Amino acid sequence: GNSVTQMEGPVTLSEEAFLTINCTYTATGYPSLFWYVQYPGEGLQLLLKATKADDKGSNKGFEATYRKETTSFHLEKGSVQVSDSAVYFCALRTNYGQNFVFGPGTRLSVLP
Amino acid sequence: EAGVAQSPRYKIIEKRQSVAFWCNPISGHATLYWYQQILGQGPKLLIQFQNNGVVDDSQLPKDRFSAERLKGVDSTLKIQPAKLEDSAVYLCASSYIGVKYGNTIYFGEGSWLTVV
């Protein structure tokens, strides 16, 4: 079946540090890949997405590249801010069935 | 445009009681989802509607959970009777149908349920 694996958290960084959150997936067919972010007390918000191999999604300084050969979609940011503290979810969606499958989430804490 | 609306935001009930959550999707979105998010875990799909028909309810505990989407717009998720393990955030989401609209789904802020 389809599944998403993320690096375990929590991840704690100092402000302006480099961020990487690893995400790998297993899927039949050619899924679209997503990163969603959840701030405390809020619902999930789309951060970025990529719909085919080698696509790069980017938003608010975050980037992730769809790597079909390694079935990965790692999230990166060059300089994190305190306001980036949240839980980050990697997800995939296959066109067949159109269901989303989410990873378990990675909690990021950024210290001033 | 207005986002996905959910209510109530917070609910505390005793076990064996019942509760209902309401969702109004983004206008024009034919597909509506209910997810359950237990603390520390990713969202898990409970049920997916396309217009007013059920596409996937394979993970819905049908002995206690029910959902409907009358007229293909608003939806209600009911739990009766509630168990302690039902304590979670219930997320409603919606999306367009069709590849040309992309594959993005949009989430509401969630309904936080505590069963005591």
Are B43 and A44 in contact (CB < 8 Å)? Answer: yes
Cα angle B58, B59, B60 (rounded to 5 degrees) comes to 95
Q: What is the rounded average pLDDT of the residues A95-101?
A: 70
By Cβ distance, the residue of B48, B91, B99 closest to A43 is: B91
User: Does A80 score more than 60 pLDDT?
Assistant: yes
| Token pair recorded at residue A17 | 């540090």
DSSP state of B25: P
Q: What is the rounded average pLDDT of the residues B77-88?
A: 97
| Token pair recorded at residue A72 | 């990965």
Q: What is the rounded average pLDDT of the residues B68-93?
A: 95
Distance CA B68, CA A80 (A): 42
User: Does B99 score more than 60 pLDDT?
Assistant: no
Mean pLDDT lowest among A32-36, B18-22, B88-92, B101-105: B101-105
Are B40 and A104 in contact (CB < 8 Å)? Answer: yes
Q: Categorize the per-residue pLDDT at A97 as very low, low, confident or very high, splitting at 50, 70 and 90.
A: low
Q: Which of B35, B46, B38, B44 is nearest to B4 (CA)?
A: B35
Chain B residue numbers touching A40 (CB-CB < 8 A) = none
User: Does B81 score more than 80 pLDDT?
Assistant: yes
pLDDT more than 90, % of chain A: 76
Q: Which of B89, B87, B90 is nearest to B77 (CA)?
A: B90
Q: What is the rounded average pLDDT of the residues A87-94?
A: 92
pLDDT at B105: 85
| Token pair recorded at residue B54 | 């059920």
The average confidence (pLDDT) of chain A is 92
Distance CA B51, CA A35 (A): 26
Distance CA A9, CA A19 (A): 13
Distance CA B91, CA B52 (A): 18
Nearest-CA distance from B63 to chain A in Å?
Answer: 23
Q: Categorize the per-residue pLDDT at B40 as very low, low, confident or very high, splitting at 50, 70 and 90.
A: confident
| Token pair recorded at residue B112 | 């936080």
Distance CA A16, CA B71 (A): 50
Can you point out the beta strands (E) in chain B? 5-7, 10-13, 19-24, 31-37, 44-50, 53-56, 65-68, 75-79, 88-95, 106-107, 111-115
Q: A with B: how many residue pairs have Cβ under 8 Å apart?
A: 58
Chain A residue numbers touching B93 (CB-CB < 8 A) = 44, 100
Chain A residue numbers touching B41 (CB-CB < 8 A) = 104-105
Chain A residue numbers touching B96 (CB-CB < 8 A) = none
3-state secondary structure of B15: coil
pLDDT at B102: 60
pLDDT at B95: 87
Q: Categorize the per-residue pLDDT at B36 as very low, low, confident or very high, splitting at 50, 70 and 90.
A: very high
Are A105 and B42 in contact (CB < 8 Å)? Answer: yes
pLDDT at B103: 65
CA-CA-CA-CA dihedral for B55, A47, A30, B60, to nearest 10: -30
Paired residues of A21 in beta bridges: A75
Chain A residue numbers touching B4 (CB-CB < 8 A) = 43
Q: What is the rounded average pLDDT of the residues A102-112?
A: 95
By Cβ distance, the residue of A43, A49, A102 closest to B109 is: A43
pLDDT digits (tens, 9 = 90+) for A32-54: 899 999 998 888 999 999 988 99
pLDDT at A42: 83
pLDDT more than 90, % of chain B: 72
| Token pair recorded at residue B8 | 């109530």
Nearest-CA distance from A54 to chain B in Å?
Answer: 17
pLDDT at A96: 58
pLDDT at A30: 81
Give A97 or B96, the one with higher predicted confidence.
B96
